[in-house]
Amino acid sequence: MTDFSINNDFTKLIGCKYPIVCAPMFLVSYEKLVIAASEAGALGSAPSLNWRTVDEFQKAVKTIKAGTNKPYAINLIVNKSVPRQHKDLEICAEEKVPVVITSLGSPKETIKLMHQVGGKVFCDVTNLEYAKKVEDLGADGVVAVAAGAGGHAGPTSPLVLIPYLKKHLSIPVLAAGGIATGEQMAATMILGASAAYIGTRFIASKEANVDTHYKNAILESQPHDIVMTEKISGTPAAVIKTPYIEKAGLRMNPVESYLMKHPKTKKYVKMFRAYVGSKMLEKAAGTTTWKEVWSAGQGVGLIDEVLSAEEIVNKLIKEYHTAWRNNIPPTTTNAKPMNTSA
C-alpha cells in the first residue's frame, strides 16, 4: 500500500504518524505491543497497573523507551482506590513519558506534573460535564468512551457523544467504542474525532500477551456476546459472555450494592472488587481456565484474524483511505479527508 502520513491536530500534537491509539488494556498491553504499535505509526500505550510493583513498572517504561523513539502513552487509574497512583505518576514524570491517559478519577495532579516535564495528558470521559472539568484543568484532549467500548464503556452512542463533545470543547476528542476497521475510523473523523482509540482489535494481535484461547474468543464472538458486569471493578465493564460469566452473574451482591451507596464505604468496596476482579482477569488472560473472564468491546464482530500490530495499523490505514475514496457520499457536506502527505 502507499504509505501516507495523516496530519491533523492529534498527530501534530503527539508527533505520531497516524491518528490511532493502540488503547491501554489491562493484562494485554505490555512492552512488546506498545513498541510494535508505536513503531507502526500509532500511539502504543499500556496501563501502569499491568506491572505488579512500582519498580517493575519503571523497568517496563525504560524497556519501551529503549525499544522505540516514537511517542507512547501510559494509562494511570487516578481513582482513590489505587494506592500506588502517585508513585506511578512520579515515574511517568521522571522518565518523561510523552503521553499519560487518565481514567476513573481527577487528573488535576497528573496534568500539573506532566506538563512540567513536557508531557501531554488525555482523559477518559463519558459525558460533557466531566469533559469540561478536565478541559478547564488543562487536559490536552479527551477520550470519548462511548457505548460499545471494552472495559468501562460509556452509555452514549458514539454517533452522539463524539459530535456533542466536539461541539462544546476546544481540545481534541478521541473516539473510543467498538472501532475495529478503517471505515469506522473514517466515520469517527466525519463526526469530529481527532483519532481512533482502538483496543479489542489489538487483543487479536501477535504481540498481545494473552492466552490463545482469549484471542480465539475475540475472533469467534459477536457483538451480542458482549455484556456489562459489575463483578470486575464495581463499575460496569464490558466482557465476553462465557458460561462462567453467566453463572457468576453481572451484579454485585446485595451487601456490596448497599455499601456502594454510602461515601464512607464505597472506596473500600471498589478496592475489594477491583482486587478480586483483577485476579479473575489475570488468571483468564494468561492460562486456560474454566473461569473465563475476557474483557472486550462490541468490535469483536468485525475481527476475524490474528495479525501483527504493524499489519493491523497498515490495514486500518488502507481501509481508511479506501473509505474516503469510495464510500463517503458526495452529498455529505463539510466532510473532507484530512491532509495527507507521502
Question: Confidence band (pLDDT; 50, 70, 90) for 292?
Answer: low
Is 226 in contact with 300 (CB distance < 8 Å)? yes
Average pLDDT over residues 317-324: 92
pLDDT tens digits along 96-151: 999 999 998 899 999 999 999 999 999 999 999 999 999 999 999 999 999 999 88
Average pLDDT over residues 84-97: 96
Distance CA 114, CA 43 (A): 17
**Residue-wise burial string across 158-180, b where 16 or more C-beta atoms lie within 10 A, e elsewhere:** beebbbbbbeebebbbbbbbbbb
pTM for the model: 0.84
Among 35-44, 85-94, 253-262, the range scoring the smallest mean pLDDT is 253-262
pLDDT tens digits along 224-256: 999 988 765 556 788 998 877 776 655 544 444
More confident residue, 162 or 260: 162
Domain ranges of the chain: 5-209+303-341, 213-298
Average pLDDT over residues 33-58: 97
Question: Confidence band (pLDDT; 50, 70, 90) for 3?
Answer: low
Instruction: Give the pLDDT confidence score for residue 327 in this predicted structure.
Output: 64
Superfamily of domain 5-209+303-341: Aldolase class I (3.20.20.70)
Question: Confidence band (pLDDT; 50, 70, 90) for 212?
Answer: very high
Question: Confidence band (pLDDT; 50, 70, 90) for 329?
Answer: low
Average pLDDT over residues 310-314: 98
Among 76-80, 138-142, 171-175, the range scoring the smallest mean pLDDT is 76-80
